[in-house]
Amino acid sequence: MSAPFQHLFGIAQLSREQIEHLVQLGESFIELSRRPVKKAPTLRGKTVINLFFENSTRTRTSFEIAGKRLSADVINISASTSATKKGETLLDTGETLAAMQPHVLVIRHSISGACEFLADFLPDTSIVNAGDGAHEHPTQVLTDLLTLQTKAGGVSGKTMTIVGDIAHSRVARSHLLAAKKLDYKVRLVAPKTLLPRGIEQFGCEVFHNFDAAIPGSDVLYMLRMQSERLTSNCCFPSIREYHEAYGLNAARLAKAGDDCLVMHPGPMNRGVEIASEVADSARSHILDQVEHGVAIRMAVLTELCGSSPQPQARSKRRKQAEAAMQAQGKLL
Partner 1 sequence: MTDILIRGGRVVDPANERDEIADVLVIDGKIAAIGEALNGASNTIDATGQVVCPGLIDMHVHLREPGQEWKEDIESGSRAAVAGGVTSMCCMPNTMPRLDHAGVIRQIIERANQVGLCHLHPIGAVTKNLDGKELTEMRELARAGAVAFSDDGMPVWHGGVMRKALEYASSFDFLLIQHAEDLQLTEGGCINEGRISTQLGVDGMPSEGEDDMVARDIMLTRLVDARYHVAHVSCKGSVELVRQAKSEGLKVSTEAAPHHFALTEEEVLGFNADAKMSPPLRTEADRLAVIEGLRDGTIEVIATDHAPHHEDDKRCGLSCAAFGIVGLETMLPVSLALVRDGVLSLPDLIAKMTCNPAQLLNLNAGTLSEGEAADICIFDADAKWTLDRNKLFSKSKNTPWHGRELTGRVTYTLKSGRIVFDHHA
Report if residue 2 touches partner 1, rule: CB under 8 A.
no
Least distance (Å) from partner 1 to the CB of residue 167? 9
What does the angle CA 183 – CA 188 – CA 194 come to, to the nearest 5 degrees? 145
Q: What's the rounded Cα separation, in Å, for the pair 11 and 289? A: 18
Is 82 a binding residue for partner 1 by CB under 8 A? The answer is no
Our finding on whether 7 is near partner 1 (CB under 8 A) is no
Which residue in 30, 91, 99, 152 binds partner 1 (CB under 8 A)?
A: 91
Cα–Cα dist 63/47, whole Å: 12
Residue 83 interacting with partner 1 (CB under 8 A): no
Stretch that binds partner 1, among 72-80, 194-202, 245-253, 272-280 (CB under 8 A): 194-202
CB 134 within 8 A of CB 197: no
Which of 51, 134, 178, 299 binds partner 1 (CB under 8 A)? It is 134
Nearest to residue 273, comparing CAs of 222, 219, 217? 222
Q: Which of 123, 133, 266, 271 binds partner 1 (CB under 8 A)?
A: 133
Q: Would you put residue 131 in left (φ > 0), alpha (ψ -120 to 50) or beta?
A: left
Angle between helix 286-305 and helix 58-69 axes, rounded to 10 deg:
50
Interface positions, 303-332, toward partner 1 (CB under 8 A)? none
Query: Is 112 a binder of partner 1 (CB under 8 A)?
Result: yes
- Give the nearer residue to partner 1 in terms of CB position, either 70 or 98: 98
Report in angstroms how near the CB of residue 169 gets to partner 1 at its nearest. 9
Q: In the set 7, 60, 69, 170, which binds partner 1 (CB under 8 A)?
A: 170
Q: Identify which of 179, 265, 157 has the alpha carbon closest to the alpha carbon of residue 220.
A: 265
Stretch that binds partner 1, among 148-156, 191-199, 259-267, 268-276 (CB under 8 A): 191-199
Piece in contact with partner 1 (CB under 8 A), picked from 26-34, 107-115, 217-225, 275-283: 107-115
Binding of residue 88 to partner 1 (CB under 8 A): no
- Alpha-carbon span 252 to 243, nearest angstrom: 11
> Mask 195-214, x = binds partner 1 (CB under 8 A)?
-xxxx-xx------------
- Please pick, from the candidates 117, 184, 210, 246, the single residue that binds partner 1 as defined by CB under 8 A: 117
Minimum separation from the CB atom of position 119 to partner 1 (A): 11
Minimum CB distance to partner 1 smaller for 196 or for 306: 196
Give residue 189's identity as a one-letter amino acid code: V
195 touches 220 (CB < 8 A)? no
In the complex with partner 1, the residue whose CB is nearer, 91 or 268, is: 91
Query: Which region, judged by CB under 8 A, interacts with partner 1, from 180-188, 193-201, 261-269, 295-303?
Result: 193-201
191 binds partner 1 (CB under 8 A): no
Using CB under 8 A, list all residues that contact partner 1. Answer: 89-91, 109, 111-114, 116-117, 132-136, 170, 173, 196-199, 201-202
